[in-house]
Amino acid sequence: MSFDRRVAVVTGGARNIGLATVKAFLARDARVVLVDRDDETVDSAVSSLGVAGDRLIGVSADVSSEESVKALMDRVGAAFGSVSYVVNNAGICTLNLAVDLSVEEWDRVLAVNLRGPWLCVKHALPLMKDGGAVVNIASQAAQRAQRFTAHYSASKMGIIGLTRALAVELAPKIRVNAVSPGTVYTNMIEHEINWRISKGFDSDGEAVKKDWLDRIPMKRFQSADAIAKAILFLCSDDASETTGETLNVSGGAVMV
Ligand SMILES: NC(=O)c1ccc[n+]([C@@H]2O[C@H](COP(=O)([O-])OP(=O)(O)OC[C@H]3O[C@@H](n4cnc5c(N)ncnc54)[C@H](O)[C@@H]3O)[C@@H](O)[C@H]2O)c1
């Protein structure tokens, strides 16, 4: 699979799933725009990759802000002239019982996770005149009932709806799909375990981990690389007849 110097914009590209996706695109000859929320994060991720500026640029942007996303796409247009792939990966999550969420917390998570992907597609579109593909990142939290993330789960279910709506509106030139990861064991997950213990919902981190693993048929967490491979597949011509779909990469967790 080669992306033949076509341009991929990856939001939240500085670490974990986003960074794995940036690396996978670079390994397959794409040109990449690594987007994250501040200059320092972007600069250190870009310099860690050691790739020439004609193949990789970093841009800091807040995906929840229309002004910021518009400025991002202006930069991308000036640097590369066109976009073929948009990967809406930037996302945040806070933890709380639904009744304890503040309006600010609810709005911030929805703004980053749901408004952000819509804004990125809206403003990338003028650069996608030759067609292409969008991949939005959902989550198993959209499809499985889980505690403490009502706002996050709602935002990710929204992503599945947004994916379908965009797929219909942008066909046939642009395909729009989602990847729905299971559990990628990042610092976000460590933070959740520590939070559950600190709030008295659980007492033993190893037991929480074991409980999560027991509910995954494949009996393992997913890697960021595995998610990146699914994203690249949906961008590639191998998925040329697939649009509006959500590909679960959860070791089977979503089906049980
Ligand atoms: N880790 C998991 O188990 C898991 C599971 C299901 C879904 N996901 C989803 O996958 C995506 C990536 O997850 P991750 O674990 O790699 O997350 P992460 O927190 O490690 O990385 C997310 C990146 O997005 C950036 N970001 C946050 N807000 C931003 C904003 N407003 N504008 C621009 N960039 C912003 C962060 O700085 C960070 O670099 C997210 O959408 C997440 O919801 C993750």
- Residue 198 domain-assigned (yes or no): no
**Distance of CA 112 from the midpoint of ligand 1 (Å):** 10
Q: Pocket of ligand 1, candidates 9, 10, 11, 16: which has the most ligand atoms within 8 Å of its Cβ, to mutate?
A: 16
CATH code, domain carrying 38: 3.40.50.720
Catalytic residue among 85, 118, 148, 152: 152
CA angle, residues 16, 21, 26, in degrees to nearest 5: 130
- Residue 214 domain-assigned (yes or no): no
- Residue 2 domain-assigned (yes or no): no
Residues near ligand 1 with C-beta < 6 Å? 11-12, 14-18, 36-37, 41, 61-64, 89-92, 112, 137, 139, 181, 183-184, 186, 188-189
Q: Give pLDDT tens digits for 147-174.
A: 999 999 999 999 999 999 999 999 999 9
pTM of the model: 0.98
How does residue 186 score in pLDDT terms, banded at 50, 70 and 90?
Answer: confident
Q: Give pLDDT tens digits for 33-49.
A: 999 999 999 999 999 99
Q: What is the 8-class DSSP label of residue 1?
A: -
Distance CA 238, CA 10 (A): 20
- Residue 188 domain-assigned (yes or no): no
Q: Do the Cβ atoms of 1 and 235 come closer than 8 Å?
A: no
- Residue 78 domain-assigned (yes or no): yes
Residue 111 alpha carbon, nearest atom of ligand 1: 31
CA angle, residues 22, 24, 25, in degrees to nearest 5: 65
- Residue 253 domain-assigned (yes or no): no
- Residue 65 domain-assigned (yes or no): yes
The count of structural domains within the chain is: 1
Residue 156 alpha carbon, nearest atom of ligand 1: 43
**Distance of CA 22 from the midpoint of ligand 1 (Å):** 13
- CA distances (Å), origin 52, targets 27, 35, 114: 13, 16, 32
- Residue 218 domain-assigned (yes or no): no
Q: Give pLDDT tens digits for 48-101.
A: 999 989 999 999 999 999 999 999 999 999 999 999 999 999 999 999 999 999
Range of the domain at 107: 7-91+103-182+224-248
**Distance of CA 103 from the midpoint of ligand 1 (Å):** 21
152 is catalytic: yes
